[in-house]
Amino acid sequence: MKKFLAAGILLTAMTASAFGCTVLGVGKNASVDGSAMVSHTCDSYGDTFATYIVPAADWPKDSQRDVIMGRHGTPGAQPVFRIPQVPHTFRYLAANYSFINEKGLAMSESTFWPDETDERSKKVCAVMNTNTFGPMDAFVVQDVALERCATAREAVKVMGDLVSQYGWGDSGETMPITDGNEVWIIEFYGNKMWAAWRLPDDQVFVAANRARLRHLDLTDKDNVMAAPDIISYAVEQGFISKKDANEKDFSPADVFAPNIGLYSMRREWRALSLLAPQTYKGGADDEVQPMSVKPDKKISVADVLRISSDWYEGTPYDLSKGPAAGPWGDPLRYANSSESDPKATWERSINMHRCTYVHVCQVKADLPEQIKGVAWFGYGAPDTAYLTPLWASMKSLPDIMNPVKGSTRYSDYSSDSAWWAAIRLQHIAEMRYQDARKEIHAVRDPKLAALYHLVPAVQQVAADLIKKGDVDGALDVITDFGCAQALDWHATWLALGDRLFSTYALGTTHMKKAPYPDWWNKQIGFGPVERQKKQ
């Protein structure tokens, strides 16, 4: 078993799929309609790009559940461990990561890692970066929580207990979780170390690939949970001294995963400054950003999408400016290292080319559990992506999301694949980005605005049917509606891609000359070609 477990841990380390996710958690009193939200930009090179439903199931007594590390991102991955199964598991939606179940429990994740910046952090990295502590990883704990839990508090307890019992064998993870009433943030640091904090209801949390939990009062059992030996382990490993071990003010992010990289802090700064431009006074280079802020105005799904689509527009770090953005202001940057300087990188924004999908899970606690949690879901970089409403309780998803129909990275382009259609449009937009995105938004935004009003009405229709005892009829309503919207977006994106390609093909606009801007011509040395004089 040890050999099998080691192979699984190595497989996970080699195929870690989410290298740059940004996540938000929104308390119910921070939103415009009283819903709580969690969001995720899944910035990945390792998943299959498929979206599917894992059905509910009943299990015989004494059944065992396979633990398959890296399962969503690793075709052919094998079980490395087994844990006791529960009698009944819930239905849930999954993509690279699982994200919402039929009870309206929703979650997201952002991978993190400690950096070596001084002697203490080198010691921390030597211990916490080994990834050999146990069989639990982000995929496993999220799946198990969605299979077994109906509330965020319960999910934190189940996930934490799994790691405390069996150990963590993956990179660090930050996970916002909500049931519509509470939002919890849980972090896993390595070995059996974890901590969780309840987000105040009027706050918005952000994480961008570094651990975030600081100044926790471990005696506050209503709002904080943690591994029982979290302080004693830190002292034992020499990460902190006994005199610095304060259970009323403990910062596990600094103790177990110190990180002051711009790659993370600047995205945190940007999200917080967009949420509270009047009241948040943090700086773009501040090594420590607050975990959350109270937004200046209550926010909506549209606001979360706007933040997820950001590339620092209008700031000194604007990725649509300068030579690297090309003549048409393309903020997508494909390379983040070089052979001559492996540490060289572009500025990292929230919106980026390798975002596999974006979701905003919106949960209204006062609705029936089957329909209270809607996942606004779209493929590709958020700025050029649509959001379509999905529920874990839907009886089925449309075939365009089905991996059998070609919606995976391991198949050739197919117009029958929702993922391929979205990425095709994203690439076409780069032919003349700023103009193309205006056309995309002109099509997308009115449709989204209508859906933001229509979805609550559909939920109410389904809720009324449930109250009358017609649960099956309610599920038909959300299934028909959810599938129809996904298919409509897909058809719209295919047609829009065709139109934008013909509009901007061959460096033209509608096959008419579209000269480069003067600043770009000067930058690249464009000008008259002089005849060489004969010698």
User: What integer is the mean pLDDT of 184-188?
Assistant: 98
Task: Determine whether 439 is exposed, middle or buried from the number of CB atoms within 10 Å of its CB (0-12, 13-18, 19+).
Answer: middle
- Of 220, 212, 217, nearest to 175 (Cα)? 212
Q: 3-class DSSP state for residue 89?
A: strand
> Which residue in this structure is represented by tokens 């205006």?
438
Predicted confidence band at 75 (pLDDT cuts at 50, 70, 90)? low
Task: Determine whether 512 is exposed, middle or buried from the number of CB atoms within 10 Å of its CB (0-12, 13-18, 19+).
Answer: exposed
Mean pLDDT of the chain: 91
Beta pairing partners, 224: 197
Predicted confidence band at 98 (pLDDT cuts at 50, 70, 90)? very high
Lookup: tokens for 462: 């389904």
5 or 311, which is more confident: 311
- Of 351, 376, 372, nearest to 361 (Cα)? 376
Provide Rg for the chain, Cα atoms.
24
Distance CA 416, CA 202 (A): 42
Cβ(42)–Cβ(187) under 8 Å?
no
Distance of CA 456 to the CA centre of its chain: 24
Domain boundaries, the chain: 29-311, 380-513
Lookup: tokens for 265: 């802090």
pLDDT digits (tens, 9 = 90+) for 208-247: 999 999 999 999 999 999 999 999 999 999 999 999 999 9
Of the candidate ranges 139-148, 219-228, 268-277, 525-534, the one whose mean pLDDT is the lowest: 525-534
Cβ(393)–Cβ(92) under 8 Å?
no
- Residue 488 makes CB contacts below 8 A (sequence gap 6+) with none
DSSP structure class, residue 278: T
Phi/psi of residue 69, each to 5°? -70, 135
Q: 3-class DSSP state for residue 365?
A: coil
Cβ(320)–Cβ(313) under 8 Å?
yes
Distance CA 27, CA 505 (A): 45
Q: 3-class DSSP state for residue 397?
A: coil
- pLDDT tops 50 at residue 331: yes
Instruction: Return the pLDDT at 60.
Output: 98
